[in-house]
A and B are shown apart, each in its own frame.
Chain A
Amino acid sequence: MEHIRTPKVENVRLLDRSSGQRKAGIGTLYLSATHTIFVENNPETRKETWVLHSMVSSVERPPTIPAGSQLLLRCKDFRIFQILIPQERDCLDVYTSLVRLSRPEKYSELYCLSFNPSMNKEEREESWTFIDLMADYKRMGVPNNLWVTTEANSEYRVCDTYPSELFVPRSATPAIIVGSSRFRSRGRFPALSYFHQDTLAAVCRCSQPLSGFSGRCQEDEMMLQAVMKSNPGSDYIYVVDTRPKLNAMANRAAGKGYENEDHYTNIKLHFIGIENIHVMRSSQQKIVEVGEMRSPSMTDFLWGLENSGWLKHIKAILDAGVFISRAVADEGVSVLVHCSDGWDRTAQACAVASILLDPFYRTIKGLMVLIERDWVSFGHKFSHRYAHLDGDPKEVSPVVDQFLECVWQLSEQFPCAFEFNERFLIAIHTHVYSCHFGNFLGNCQKERRDMRLRERTHSVWPQLWKDRAQYINPLYKAELSQTQGVLRPNTTPYCFKMWKGLYNHVQKSTAPRQSPSDFLSAVREQSQQLEEALTNHQEVPAGGTAHQTNHMQPPAETLWA
């Protein structure tokens, strides 16, 4: 490929710093169109390390040392590779190639568009139907006499960043929808995110109103009234503005802002105070540094943790979810959530609320559905936020990282409530960045349709589903109390911990730590084998072909040895 200046360098040393590796392996470094591949010389292991170019967030050249020239590869999943190349020239070639390869300029350069697993056309098409959003709306009971589908956005006519299929209050006429969308940033009018069958209250989402200091819009006011009317149990709705109030006020000067309570009847405004994407970007940079600190003192660590502000932001997002879920489940009041454009903080708050409200979203399949709905279909700008292409660095922000972390924090508090384990969350995190599959390419449904991604790429979900054995939380059990109903988390500050699995790879693997979760999974697997063995033994009629059962391998009793 044109960008590869040198496809192969020998006698390279590579140190996977984030895995706690102490001694670098010696081997050969290959550059392919999609991966950096390192193969160790050690004939016994021939260990291979593959790094996808799209996972590389930065390539640095630390000063040359006597043994050779160095490269430092920082990855979007926070792994760090230290590479030592004997010849300066080779190093420069690799560096230049990688800088270019890790910053693709066109979608066509991305791995998912060349990734071709042995799968025929039908299988690929089927992979895209694995997650069916309409089936999930049906599961939550819509359409019904309160919420109906609308044709308003077919062909993305009203809002190009929204999905074409949407649910709106029954009383919202096309005129109201169009009117309301004109009064909302980027035309993102109020639409249904989640309907709570038990209380008939709903979670809706939109973007900020273009109210400025005094603007108003009759259709928008009617729209909110319609949202309220679609909940027979309540005579008002909450409007949750997830931004800090000051930011929302500042937006008024730009002709945007928030709902004026004098113009809208029966709304209660509530501000949450989740910071914007720029604050989050720099906060994550700091928490990553905290995770990478080498032998810090306890004071350095705690100070770094505090100074990063990261846990504070995670708490704010979780608090938003808690507020919404309480309103819906406990008060039976519908909630309309927005921020500025309604695709970052709004997605976070709505998705966390759904996790809290509905046990289905705490299953493996349910989380996939939730991400498809509140993130993919509602136009979260994946390609901008996760820097899929070389672009504006100010657009990049760890929005979905924070959502996944909220789920992780909840799983620490409710160990039996989630069907999946931390590995599943990390796998999703990786795929959001990797562009290995087509799901997260582009910034909205329309873009993905225009790129014909369903025809040209594969969906990640069937793959994750196939591998689900490794993502199962052994403690998950559908009948337990925390698995059912609404989760009511404690959000006192001491409940928030640094997510070591994501930010502190090093300490995770310095010693062969014992993981209770893996241990229990192994025990459960063994139990399954035993169950089979038991059935087989019992099926043998007395005095029958008993010798056949001898072929059964005894289950690995070494577990207990």
Chain B
Amino acid sequence: MEFAELIKTPRVDGVVLHRPFMPIVEGTLCLTGHHLILSSRQDNTEELWLLHSNIDSIEKRFVGSLGSIILKCKDLKVIQLDITGMEECLNIASSIEALSTLDSLSLMYPFFYRPMFEVIEDGWNSFRPEDIFKDLESMTDEWRLSRVNRDFSVCPSYPPMVAVPKDVDDDALRKVATFRHSGRFPVLSYYHKKNGMVMMRAGQPLTGTNGRRCKEDEKLINATLRPGKRGYIIDTRTIGVAQQAKARGGGFESEANYPQWRRIHKAVERSNILQESLIKLVEACNDRSHSIDRWLSKLEASSWQTHVKEILTTACLAAQCIDREGASVLVHGTEGTDSTLQVTSLAQIILDPACRTIRGFQGLVEREWLQAGHPFQQRCAQSAYSNSKLRQEAPVFLLFLDCVWQILRQFPCSFEFKESFLVLLFEHAYASQFGTFLGNSTSERVKLSLPEKTVSLWSWVNRPQEIERLTNPLYEANSLVIWPSVAPQSLLLWEGVFLRWNRSSKCLEEAYEEMVHIIEYNKELQNKVNSLRRQLAQLETEDPLLQTP
């Protein structure tokens, strides 16, 4: 298919663009296969380059022959284009509509994008499982890297290589896979160096109503326990939901068959409910009414903050079991691709200082989200403004980022990156020129040849100038476990995402610059003092008369 077929009008002059907190721009609108571009003839106005895939919904309005197109984007920005002439306006609108809802992955922009920067390190190779495993090997010999899934036949959503207990062979893994949802047998998620405890994740066991069991499954997860120790299974569903799952062939680990494990049920919400929550929250944030009561009651009704609290609470629980109780943990919900990953990845942020660095956090996203098979393509297909019928959309990853932001806000000096890195990941998960978040699993990414045909987001991020932009000036490496407060009084609305387009950030930016200035000045002075001290020391050694008595 040619994009040209979809573009009814490629170019219109005299279009007026309204953007939040930016001056109005008048200029020429051009539609390309992947972008909507508005450029003005005036020199110093910023051009607009908007990816069609970033557009969540389109609204048209007419006053006489003046048409307005309101574009609501997946990053929650809303812009308006005023176009004179009804036909032109309708043509543009229907072209954008078609271009922004392309179904075929191979038509996506990342396949057409050529980097304008020098790739120093290919991000597609930055976080290979075998490299990650080398780190583990340096700490323990109790685990091995299994290639049982090398052709994705045992578990389609797993990567070709996963870490499993050393004593469990591939045959056993194949059997366990048949006993777990979507073949997601228990694999290693995190090894806590301090006490050798581990966190594993999996899909729910397929016990069904008649209590099916699987000896290999029991053996596998028991193999992770130290002699005489008990472990915790954290089921992200309530006991009621877990019971109901039995009727559909799912279920949970019974105490009788897993006597060394204590099961804890938590209530982390799932897909549809989360998507509705996001829609309500964004609607509340855009409500221009001036009543505090209305705002607070809408915020409450969206339940977004409740979800943040639930997820963080469950992650803290997992981290506590490992660090405080000295117990190993297995986390699962139903599929093990959503709430499970929120919990395992946040627990690592809490426990492992390495995850709080820029590179470490990329590694975490890569390991616990991309390679762990979070279906980004399905979950991030639509955002808060979409009118189309929901399929499998859910802001699972956005909630994870929100939770990270909450911890970052409570420990502003413990993260190497700043808020803008989280915002960047949110944007790219929903619309991007990079191939990183395309597809739902490693197998899909391999099938699409993404590593060969597209550029990785990490290639862009890991350039010195970008790293510098994302670096938190307050960062001081902190090797401790950081326990966030999950009290509602401590959890705030993530303004950097949800109010980003509703308020001016000028004063906050000014404050940030001032902060950077204070720190830079300090470093500069330190360098000067140190160099003077060195000179002095040198003078003293050269001139014995000056030596201190």
Contacts and interface: CB of A to CB of B under 8 A. Distances in A.
Interface string A290-301: 110101111111
Interface in A481-516: 481-482, 490-498, 500, 504, 506-507, 510-511, 513-516
A291 B503 CA distance: 27
Interface in A504-558: 504, 506-507, 510-511, 513-516, 519-520, 523-524, 526-527, 530-531, 533-534, 537-538, 540, 542-543, 546-547, 549-550, 554-555, 557
Contacts of A27: none
B142 to A, nearest CB: 32
A311 interface: yes
B511 A416 contact: yes
Interface in A59-94: none
B529 A537 contact: yes
A513 B410 contact: yes
B286 to A, nearest CB: 10
A302 B485 contact: no
Interface in B248-296: 285, 288-296
A493 B529 contact: no
B504 interface: yes
Interface size class of A (residues with CB under 8 A): 35 or more
Contact of A530 (B306, B413, B525): B525
A315 B292 contact: yes
B491 A298 contact: yes
Contact of B474 (A306, A498, A519): A519
B110 to A, nearest CB: 35
B412 interface: yes
A530 B526 contact: yes
A514 B511 contact: no
B510 A538 contact: no
A220 B533 CA distance: 74
A50 interface: no
A305 interface: yes
B245 interface: no
Contacts of A302: 296-297, 299-300, 305, 488
Interface stretch (A118-126, A142-150, A472-480): A472-480
A297 B488 CA distance: 7
A513 B411 contact: yes
Contacts of B59: none
A496 B518 contact: no
Interface string A302-321: 11011001011001000000
Given A507-B490, A514-B411, A493 B518 contact: no
A413 interface: yes
A523 B518 contact: yes
Interface string A11-48: 00000000000000000000000000000000000000
Contacts of B295: 493-494
B390 interface: no
Contacts of B508: 415
A119 to B, nearest CB: 36
Provide the main secondary structure of the chain A interface. Answer: helix
B510 A507 contact: no
Contacts of A526: 522
A517 B546 CA distance: 43
A496 B465 CA distance: 36
Contact of A514 (B293, B300, B414, B490): B414
B297 A413 contact: no
B90 to A, nearest CB: 34
A554 B300 CA distance: 52
A115 interface: no
Interface in B495-532: 495, 499, 502-504, 506-508, 510-511, 514-515, 518-519, 521-522, 525-526, 528-529, 532
B489 A498 contact: yes
A513 B526 CA distance: 27
Contacts of A299: 300, 306
B539 interface: yes
Contact of A306 (B297, B495, B504, B510): B297
Given A527-B518, A534-B528, A537-B532, A416 B292 contact: no
A298 B488 CA distance: 5
A421 to B, nearest CB: 13
Contact of A496 (B292, B503, B510): B292
B2 interface: no
A404 to B, nearest CB: 19
A296 B488 contact: yes
Contacts of A534: 525, 528-529, 532
A110 B499 CA distance: 48
B493 A494 contact: yes
Contacts of A554: 533
A435 B290 CA distance: 39
A297 to B, nearest CB: 7
Contact of B546 (A291, A497, A547): A547
B499 to A, nearest CB: 6
A312 B296 CA distance: 10
B511 A415 contact: yes
A475 B513 CA distance: 9
Interface in B458-483: 474, 476, 482-483
A213 interface: no
Contacts of A300: 488
A306 B300 contact: yes
B492 interface: yes
A107 interface: no
A290 B548 CA distance: 63
Interface of A: 290-291, 293, 295-303, 305-306, 309, 311-312, 315, 413-417, 474-475, 477, 480-482, 490-498, 500, 504, 506-507, 510-511, 513-516, 519-520, 523-524, 526-527, 530-531, 533-534, 537-538, 540, 542-543, 546-547, 549-550, 554-555, 557, 559-561
20 contacts: A296-B487, A298-B303, A309-B293, A312-B292, A315-B292, A414-B507, A415-B507, A492-B503, A493-B295, A493-B296, A498-B489, A507-B490, A511-B482, A520-B515, A524-B518, A527-B521, A530-B526, A537-B533, A547-B547, A555-B526
Given A298-B306, A306-B292, A507-B489, 11 more contacts: A298-B305, A301-B488, A302-B299, A413-B507, A490-B503, A507-B490, A513-B411, A514-B474, A524-B518, A526-B522, A530-B522
The 10 closest A-B pairs by CB, nearest first: A301-B488, A493-B295, A415-B511, A306-B296, A530-B525, A302-B300, A298-B306, A514-B413, A312-B292, A547-B548
